[in-house]
C-alpha cells in the first residue's frame, strides 16, 4: 500500500508540474482523424511499405512502452484495437521527447505519423508528434494478469474494458446481436415500440416486483417485470406486429443466470400461433448466430452446440420421461408423481396442483439436460395464466419455452384473448397471492377491458437477450455480458 501511495503521489506531482509549466494535462482541442483499424486496413497486408506512406492522426491510451534511451516503442489502444508507435528523440525534438518521457501507462495521447515495418515485421507508426490529452492518476493493473478479482472486474468495468480485449469483444458482439435482432424484426414488418417502465399494476410474468413512489401523483408504482400486457394492448389497438427491446426488473435472487435488471425482446404477432413462433424463433436465432459467429456449430463451456435445423421438440411430460426415471403412465397418476417429486428432493405440499407439480418435476429432471436447442411444449394451464388453453386438452396451454445449454432462453404462447377466461385466471392468481405467493399475478381490470374490445388471435414471445449473448460469446455468467451488473455496496 505504501508503494502504491507513493506511485499515486508521483502522478499527482506530474500533473502539478504540467500546470506549473503552462501545459494543460486535460486539453480538449485534439481531433483524431483515423483509428488503429484504418492503419491496419491500409497497410496490414503490405509486407513492404512505400517510400511516402499515408500520414495518420490517432488518439489512444498508452498500454505498454519500451524505452531505449533516445527512442521508445509504445502501444496505444483506441476503440478499434491496438497499434504500436515508434518515438525517436531526433524526430520529436529534445523538448517534446523529454515531455513524453514523463508520460505513464494509462495516459491518453494524440499522435501523428507514418507507418513502417520493424525488423521483426511489426506494423508500427513512426510518430512526428505526440501530445498528452488526459493524465491518468491511477495505475492500470499489472500487464500480464489484468484484473484477477472477479467482483473488482464487474465493479470497475471501465478498467476491465481497458485491459481486457476479450471483454471488449463480448460487448461489441452484444451490440451486434441486438442490432441484428432489431433489423430482423423490422424486416419482417414488426414495429418497434416503447411501453412504460413504471406501472401501476405489474404484469406479464410471475415475479416479485420492485416498488417505487411517485411524489407528484402520490402513489406507489412498480418497475415492470414484463412489457407483455401493454404490448398486447397495442395489438388490440391495431398494431398487429410489435416488439420491444428493453429492461425488465425482478426483485429476486442473483445468480450466474439472474440479474435484478435484465434485457428482453418481447414481440407479438396477430393471426399467428405458438407453432408459427417456433419456426420464426429458429429462423431468427440461426440468422443471428450465423452473422455473429459465421457458423451454426459452436461450443459453450467446452460443449458442442448445433443450431442446425430443425431443433428438437418435447412436451413437458415427454421431457420428464425422456430424462427422468418415471414412465408415462405413472406420471399421469398424481399420487405417484407426487411421490416421485419428493424422491427427487423437491419440497412439495400435499395440496400442490398437478400442473405445478409436473412443472417442478420437469425443472428438476430435464431442464439442465436440454443442451442442444430444444422447444418444450404443452405446459400446464395452472402455471400459464396468460396463455390460451389448448382446444383439445384444457389442462394444457398452447405454449413453448426454448432451452439451450441447460437454461431457458425464450418463452412464448398463443395468447389468451377470451376476456372472461382471462378474468377467471387473474382471480385464481389473486387467490394464490392472498395465500402468500409473492410471484402470483395481480388483477388488471384495464387489461380485461382492453380484451373486451377484442384482441385478435395472437402469439407472443419473450427472448432473454442477456442469456442469448452468454450463449453466443461463451460467457459463463450473466454478469459477464452486462456492463454494470448489480452488486452489493462496496466495502469501505
Q: What is the pLDDT of residues 28-80, one digit of tens each?
A: 999 999 999 999 999 999 988 988 999 999 999 999 999 999 999 999 999 99
Q: Grid coordinates representing 39?
A: 492503419
What's the pLDDT score for residue 429? 86
* pLDDT, mean of residues 332-344: 97
pLDDT in tens, 97-124: 999 999 999 999 999 999 999 999 999 9
What's the pLDDT score for residue 143? 56
Q: Grid coordinates representing 74?
A: 509504445
Q: What is the DSSP letter of 271?
A: T
What's the pLDDT score for residue 144? 45
Percentage with pLDDT > 90 across the chain: 85
CA-CA distance, 60 to 40, in Å (whole number)? Answer: 15
What's the pLDDT score for residue 150? 85
Nearest to 471 by CA among 257, 254, 150: 257
pLDDT in tens, 137-154: 999 987 545 566 888 889
pLDDT in tens, 278-323: 999 999 999 999 999 999 999 999 999 999 999 999 999 999 999 9
Specify whether the CB–CB gap between 182 and 245 falls below 8 A.
yes
Indicate whether 207 pLDDT > 50: yes
Sign of CA dihedral 251, 254, 260, 265: negative
- Which of helix, strand or coil describes residue 80? coil
Sheet with 191-192: list strands edge to edge. 191-192, 241-249, 261-270, 458-464, 407-414, 399-404, 374-377, 312-315
**Alpha helices, DSSP H, located in 348-389:** 354-365
Amino acid at each position: 500500500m505504501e508503494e502504491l501511495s507513493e506511485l499515486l503521489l508521483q502522478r499527482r506531482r506530474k500533473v502539478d508540474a504540467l500546470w506549473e509549466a503552462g501545459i494543460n494535462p486535460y486539453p480538449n482541442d485534439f481531433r483524431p482523424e483515423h483509428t488503429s483499424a484504418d492503419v491496419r486496413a491500409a497497410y496490414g497486408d503490405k509486407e513492404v511499405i512505400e517510400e511516402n506512406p499515408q500520414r495518420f492522426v490517432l488518439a489512444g491510451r498508452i498500454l505498454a512502452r519500451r524505452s531505449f534511451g533516445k527512442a521508445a516503442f509504445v502501444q496505444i489502444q483506441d476503440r478499434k484495437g491496438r497499434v504500436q508507435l515508434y518515438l525517436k528523440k531526433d524526430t520529436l525534438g529534445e523538448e517534446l521527447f523529454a515531455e513524453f518521457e514523463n508520460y505513464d501507462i494509462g495516459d491518453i495521447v494524440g499522435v501523428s505519423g507514418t507507418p513502417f515495418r520493424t525488423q521483426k515485421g511489426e506494423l508500427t507508426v513512426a510518430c512526428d508528434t505526440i501530445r498528452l490529452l488526459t493524465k491518468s492518476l491511477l495505475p492500470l493493473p499489472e500487464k500480464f494478469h489484468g484484473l484477477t478479482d472477479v467482483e473488482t472486474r464487474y465493479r470497475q468495468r471501465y478498467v476491465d474494458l481497458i485491459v481486457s480485449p476479450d471483454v471488449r469483444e463480448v460487448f461489441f458482439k452484444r451490440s451486434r446481436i441486438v442490432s441484428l435482432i432489431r433489423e430482423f424484426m423490422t424486416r419482417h414488418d414488426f414495429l418497434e415500440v416503447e411501453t412504460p417502465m413504471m406501472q401501476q399494476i405489474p404484469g406479464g410474468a410471475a415475479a416479485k416486483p420492485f416498488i417505487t413512489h411517485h411524489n407528484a401523483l402520490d402513489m406507489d408504482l412498480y418497475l415492470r417485470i414484463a412489457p407483455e400486457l401493454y404490448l398486447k394492448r397495442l395489438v388490440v389497438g391495431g398494431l398487429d406486429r410489435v416488439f420491444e427491446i428493453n429492461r425488465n426488473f425482478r426483485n429476486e435472487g442473483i445468480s450466474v443466470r439472474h440479474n435484478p435488471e435484465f434485457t428482453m425482446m418481447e414481440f407479438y404477432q396477430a393471426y399467428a400461433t405458438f407453432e408459427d413462433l417456433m419456426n420464426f424463433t429458429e429462423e431468427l436465432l440461426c440468422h443471428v448466430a450465423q452473422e455473429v459467429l459465421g457458423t451454426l456449430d459452436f461450443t459453450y463451456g467446452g460443449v458442442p452446440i448445433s443450431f442446425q435445423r430443425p431443433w428438437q421438440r418435447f412436451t413437458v411430460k415427454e421431457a420428464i420421461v425422456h430424462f427422468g426415471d418415471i414412465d408415462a403412465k405413472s406420471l399421469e397418476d398424481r399420487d405417484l408423481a407426487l411421490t416421485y417429486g419428493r424422491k427427487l428432493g423437491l419440497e412439495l405440499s400435499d395440496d400442490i396442483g398437478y400442473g405445478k407439480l409436473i412443472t417442478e418435476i420437469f425443472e428438476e429432471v430435464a431442464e439442465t439436460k436440454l443442451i442442444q436447442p430444444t422447444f418444450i411444449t404443452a405446459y400446464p394451464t395452472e402455471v400459464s395464466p396468460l396463455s390460451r388453453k389448448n382446444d383439445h386438452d384444457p389442462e394444457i396451454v398452447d405454449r413453448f419455452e426454448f432451452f439451450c445449454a441447460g437454461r431457458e432462453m425464450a418463452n412464448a404462447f398463443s395468447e389468451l384473448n377470451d376476456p372472461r377466461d382471462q378474468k377467471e385466471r387473474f382471480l385464481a392468481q389473486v387467490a394464490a397471492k392472498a395465500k402468500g405467493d409473492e410471484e402470483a399475478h395481480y388483477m388488471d381490470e384495464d387489461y380485461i377491458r382492453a380484451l373486451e374490445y377484442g384482441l385478435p388471435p395472437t402469439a407472443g414471445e419473450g427472448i432473454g437477450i442477456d442469456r442469448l449473448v452468454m450463449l453466443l460469446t461463451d460467457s459463463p455468467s450473466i454478469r459477464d455480458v452486462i456492463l454494470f451488473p448489480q452488486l452489493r455496496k462496496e466495502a469501505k
